[in-house]
Amino acid sequence: MLARNKTEEELHKEIARLQTRLAKAEECFNVFSDISSEGIIIHENENIIEATKAAVIMLGYEGSELIGKKISDIIDNTSFVELAKKMESKGMHNLEASVKTKSGSHRICFMRAGTINYKGFPAGMLVINDISARKDTEKEINERFRKLSEASFEAIMIHENGKIIDVNEACTKLFGYTREELINKIAFDMAVEEDREFVKQQVQEKNELPYEARGRRKDGSVFSGELNAKEIIYNGKTVRVVAIRDISDRKLYEAQLRQVNEDYENLIRQSPDGIFILDEKGKILFANPSAHHILGIRSQDEIRGKSTFNFVLPQYHEQIRERAVLLREGYSLPFMSMEAVRIDGSVVKIEYKPIMIDYHGKKAVLVVYHDIDYQEELTREKMRSKIAEETNSILKNEIEDRKIVEAKLSKSEKQYKIQSAKLNSIIESSSHLVWTVDKTIALTSFNTNFADWMENAYGSRPEIKTVINAGKFANTKEHNDFRNKKYKAVFAGSPQHFEIKLNNRNENTVWLEIYLNPIYDENGVVKEVSGIAHDITEKKEAEEKIKQSLTEKEVLLKEVHHRVKNNLQVISSILNLQSSYIADKKVIELLKESQNRIKSMSFIHESLYQSKDFSSVKFSGYIQHLVNNLLLSYKPKEKNISLIQKIDNVFLNLDQAIPCGLIINELVSNALKYAFKKRGKGELCISIAEDKKDNVKITIADNGPGLPKGVNYRNTQSLGLQLVMVLVSQLRGVIQLNNKKGAKYIITFNKQNVN
């Protein structure tokens, strides 16, 4: 009996100890409930039996209102089904779920769910973290990235381990598929079979440098592409963004250019004519094998440093100089004959023609010439051979041949008269003005239409030997000097084509389009000049109307840029107004950054509608405007920050000006926000320079502490720096960071033509 009482006493003590431990456990749970930022819910058979303070506040309840409610009351149906499946197995499980608050709104939460021993019996436990704000931020970033990719002219493809998850409109156009057809395709399958392993290798190596590969469209056609790729976080996952530029036309042009250069070089070397290439001072830069043969040149050393005058008789030097002047003025010169001196001192008669060309990026003269003596000797030899073969036949049939010859001559004379009559009939019936003049600019012949026009314009009918620039037919001195210069050029052997404006005797404006051509005698000397003209007054009036129409379109284009600029300013004002209703400093900062990006684009359109040239923007003036705006927006009053600018006059087209403006906006904003937190004198340096090869270099530097160690500026969570990397890639440029003394960014790219 005593032993039994002792056992009961021990049992009561054990129960007391357990009750004390349970009270302490409940006290710890209550303390943890007050201090924990995570919401914890204990439930039995889906009924909530305990909840921490954080869970109650997170779900919008008060006090003990959650106790007694079911799990299905606070979790939506889809998430509840997923939770029930996970709870069937042991251990703790992670999931994202949509949670319903007391007010009926929904929050996205990260949950850990499992089974615990609660007060001596098994119960379910949910640990809840509200991630709605993070999800909203991710959604906003993804939406911004989506809009940026849709605005890009390049094809953008996003894939996860090779599986396509998103594309922009430019990508669908490039491959010929719809967006729905491309989603879930394997990205590597979009390349031709021969290039697939190469593309896979670039992905495996995480290559971020540009490379080339061929793609296959839906219709089976193949194109050459230039690819730029980078890994980013997209919808919470690590994905690869690929920008694809179609370079098929560039590849075709390069191949054609190589073929043309090869053909041109072979043509010059194999040409039977001698060819010299001279610099603007007349020095010989190149001579082909035929040139060596005609002038007796044995090696290139014999002509190195010499000019054409070393191979021409002195009496022709003046002729060469006069033709060189006409050539530089843009006239096309015909072949002319002269005598050249060979290396051995002998003289050879040649016929030559100069042509202006571009040689290794500089102006040069290509001279084509051939040996007239050699050609004439060949002709004479052929004639001698033919005469020798026919001599016997001619001697035997002298009488018969003479009769035949006389008959042929008679027939030729008749044909000549018929042809002359036809030609005169054509000239007389032509609606054009036709005439010829001698070296005194006196008429030697003209058609009726010319005489009628002159009589109508000047009130007098011309005659043979009438000087058309004098007496009754004289015009203003400027007009007469212009026409005399044109006739002088034709008598030098250069045909002329020009338009001229005249006032007739009724003071009406008349426009003529005139062609002047040399008429040579049997010795190759220009004896007369022929002229053909027609009235183009109506054509000129039509051109004037077209110019007026273009002026109207320019005004309309200015208005478009003005309205775009105004619309962007309205958006900026809306963001500014919205920020006044927000207390969260981070959200206000995001709105301010968006506002500055919009202003960056707005300044571009403001520059365009104030400019006469819509094809390019004066980027130097635009940058000064942009940087001053950022200083007003970010520079604290108590900070002493000096701005150092070294900006050349650089002009960019719209496609390059907007990305450059956004890059500078992001880098200058970062410097103003983070580089000058300590008191003291701060310096912000901005320089823009352009070299002779159209390469633009932009440098943005500060004297702050620089980027923290371990931060990879090419792969960071900062939206601003991610945007900078994408925009530099769009410019096909290169970005470098010098982080030794502050942050110094250097961006270089090649400027596109602004024509």
Residue 371's contacts (CB-CB under 8 Å, 6 or more residues apart) are 274, 294, 348, 349, 350
Model confidence at 436, in pLDDT bands (50, 70, 90)?
Answer: very high
- Asked whether residue 152 is domain-assigned, the answer is yes
CA pair distance 645, 643, nearest whole angstrom: 6
User: Do 336 and 239 fall into the same domain?
Assistant: no
Q: Does residue 560 register a pLDDT over 70?
A: no
Same domain, 30 and 74: yes
Average pLDDT taken over every residue of the chain: 78
Question: What average pLDDT does this structure show over 170-176?
Answer: 90
What pTM was estimated for this model as a whole? 0.32
Is residue 742 in some structural domain?
Answer: yes
**Confidence bin at 192 (pLDDT 50/70/90):** very high
Q: Of 507, 535, 563, which closes a domain?
A: 535
Per-residue model confidence (pLDDT) at position 452? 84
User: How far apart, in whole angstroms, are the C-alpha atoms of residue 39 and residue 598?
Assistant: 41
- Determine, yes or no, domain membership for 586: no
Q: Which of 1-5, 699-703, 720-724 has the highest mean pLDDT?
A: 699-703
Residue 154: name the closest of 241, 280, 253, 45 by CA.
241
Average pLDDT over residues 423-445: 80
* Percent of the chain topping pLDDT 90: 10
CA separation, residue 433 to residues 195, 449, 468, 532, 636 (Å): 66, 6, 14, 6, 79
**Structural domain contains residue 596:** no
Residue 436's DSSP bridge partners are 445, 530
Give the DSSP H or E segment for 242.
Answer: strand 237-246
CB 559 within 8 A of CB 609: yes
**Which letter, b or e, does each residue of 554-591 get, where b requires 16 or more Cβ atoms within 10 Å of its Cβ?**
eeeebeebeebbeebeeebeebeeebeeeeeeeeeebb
Question: What three-state secondary structure class fits 498?
Answer: strand
Percent of the chain at pLDDT > 70 equals 73
Question: What confidence score (pLDDT) does residue 565 get?
Answer: 56
Question: Tens digit of pLDDT for each residue in 293-343?
Answer: 888 888 877 887 788 888 888 888 888 888 888 888 888 888 888 888 888
Specify whether 141 is located in the same domain as 124.
no
Question: Phi, psi (5° rounding) for residue 607?
Answer: -65, -40
Q: What is the pLDDT of residue 748?
A: 93
Q: Is 420 helix (H, G, I), strand (E, B) or coil?
A: helix
Residue finishing a domain among 219, 252, 285: 252
More confident of the two residues 413 and 203: 203
Distance separating alpha carbons of residues 57 and 130, to the nearest angstrom: 11
Q: Is residue 521 part of a domain?
A: yes
User: Do residues 371 and 341 both lie within one domain?
Assistant: yes
User: Both 119 and 159 in a single domain?
Assistant: no
Q: Which of 535, 559, 588 is the last residue of a domain?
A: 535
Q: Examine the domain organization and report whether 748 and 624 are in the same domain.
A: yes
Q: For the residues 576-590, what does the mean pLDDT come to?
A: 71
Average pLDDT over residues 167-175: 89
**Domain check: are 148 and 126 in the same one?**
no
Residue 343 lies in a domain: yes
Check if the beta carbon of residue 182 is closer than 8 Å to that of residue 207.
Answer: no
Separation of alpha carbons 265 and 246, rounded Å: 31
pLDDT in tens, 644-678: 888 888 888 878 877 888 888 888 888 888 888 77
The predicted structure's pLDDT at residue 609 = 44
727 neighbors 663 (Cβ within 8 angstroms)? yes
- Which CATH number do you get for residue 713? 3.30.565.10
Please indicate, yes or no, whether residues 663 and 687 belong to a single structural domain of this protein: yes
626 and 754: one domain? yes
Among 32-41, 76-85, 324-333, 480-489, name the one with the lowest average pLDDT. 32-41
Q: Are residues 639 and 752 in the same domain?
A: yes
pLDDT top residue among 421 and 387: 421
Q: Is residue 406 domain-resident? A: no
The answer to whether residue 205 sits within a structural domain is yes
8 A C-beta contact, residue 667 and residue 745: yes
* Whole-angstrom distance, CA of residue 229 vs CA of residue 370: 58
Quote the pLDDT of residue 2: 39
214 lies in the same domain as 280:
no
Burial class (CB in 10 A: 0-12, 13-18, 19+), 247: middle
Confidence of residue 755 (pLDDT cuts 50, 70, 90): very low
Task: Name residue 478's beta-bridge partners.
Answer: none
Q: Of 227-241, 491-505, 515-529, 615-629, which one has max mean pLDDT?
A: 515-529
Mean pLDDT of 84-89: 72
- Domain containing 344 equals 271-376
CATH number assigned to the domain comprising residue 41: 3.30.450.20
Q: What is the number of structural domains in the chain?
A: 5
pLDDT score of 381 = 57
Do 225 and 285 belong to one domain? no
